[in-house]
Structure 1
């Protein structure tokens, strides 16, 4: 049975629950809710397992805070003996319009501290990342406030459909492969 580690990036704590920076947690929570899965607190994060079409998806929400996400990623990859090709990091991206979905197999951290830590711990930039666009509609010097801010009413209305599309992308990643998934979902 093929195993995949799907890591949603976010910060723990109620004050961060509905922030743009926590879209990784929100995507995994939406998948868990849809499939009636329960997260359990384990070492370095909250974990649940989703079985779909002969695949096992281990969903991880690190409890290390965003800037130390790499520690949890490396621990669970090693513990579950999951190859790097079967890792998918779900993260927010300021450089994409709100709700845009982009899957990449490598790249820079783009100034994202969670990706920077993962890259440092994995010692490579070649790992799959699913970037969810949060747009860059903030005033100069207000980036942190924007990223850690809550969704606007308009964004909240559109979020459900975007979360459903994100769930489809994750399932496709495990069943159809990264290249087919990129062709199907990038830019949607």
Structure 2
């Protein structure tokens, strides 16, 4: 089994914010696959199959900083190894329109990733990082991540969201290294 988690904050208020690009990527993937979301424990879940393997898409409804509290119960219930988890999320250190896939790593200051690492007790999960850029000098990080994209960045970010969904789907049947080599790109 594989689990693909998209990080974001629930509610209409946060829908188009920078912090919700992980949700947007999973919505795109679910739409491309014709899947519908169902309520799970602290999450929305969609299910698919590929190559004889069950695939779960999950959007934590716990708010970003507690994402691990929604992902861990699913992983535990289905006995999914941490290496079979992919997390799609926003990254301040990448420019809008940039996409980076990684095999594993630390939290890099991202509270959603920190929560997942703390809940799972491991860092060895796949990451799909969507660039949102840093705030201008003097602006707060919180205001930036909870704000919307500038009109000039919107098209590049939408393209990156589509590519993120494609990359996640490619991982259904291809080794992650191959997917990573194909989809890593800069703005």
TM-score (normalised: structure 1): 0.92
Q: Which residue of 1 aligns with 2:12?
A: 14
Residue of structure 2 aligned with 1:148, choices 142, 146, 149 = 146
Residue of structure 2 aligned with 1:74, choices 50, 72, 75 = 72
Answer with 159-168 or 102-111: which moved more.
159-168
Q: Which residue of 2 aligns with 1:26?
A: 24
Map 1:13-162 onto structure 2 (within 5 A): 13-162=11-160
Answer with 65-74 or 151-160: which moved more.
151-160
Residues 1:54 and 1:154: Cα distance change in structure 2 (over 3 Å): farther
Shift of 1:137: 4.3
Residues 1:104 and 1:62: Cα distance change in structure 2 (over 3 Å): same
Residues 1:51 and 1:138: Cα distance change in structure 2 (over 3 Å): farther
| C-alpha distance after superposition, 1:81-102 (max 9, x if no partner) | 2111110011100001112111
| C-alpha distance after superposition, 1:100-119 (max 9, x if no partner) | 11111221111111111111
Map 1:153-172 onto structure 2 (within 5 A): 153-172=151-170
Shift of 1:23: 0.7
Counterpart-to-counterpart distance in 2, 1:161 and 1:53 = 27
Counterpart-to-counterpart distance in 1, 2:22 and 2:66 = 15
Gaps in structure 1 of 5+ consecutive residues:
none
Shift of 1:168: 1.5
| C-alpha distance after superposition, 1:50-108 (max 9, x if no partner) | 23344432100011111111111110111122111110011100001112111112211
Q: Secondary structure at the match of 1:18?
A: coil
Q: Which residue of 1 aligns with 2:179?
A: 181
> RMSD over aligned Cα, in angstroms?
1.5
Q: Secondary structure at the match of 2:4?
A: strand
Report the number of matched residues.
186
Counterpart-to-counterpart distance in 1, 2:162 and 2:175 = 19
Gaps in structure 2 of 5+ consecutive residues:
none
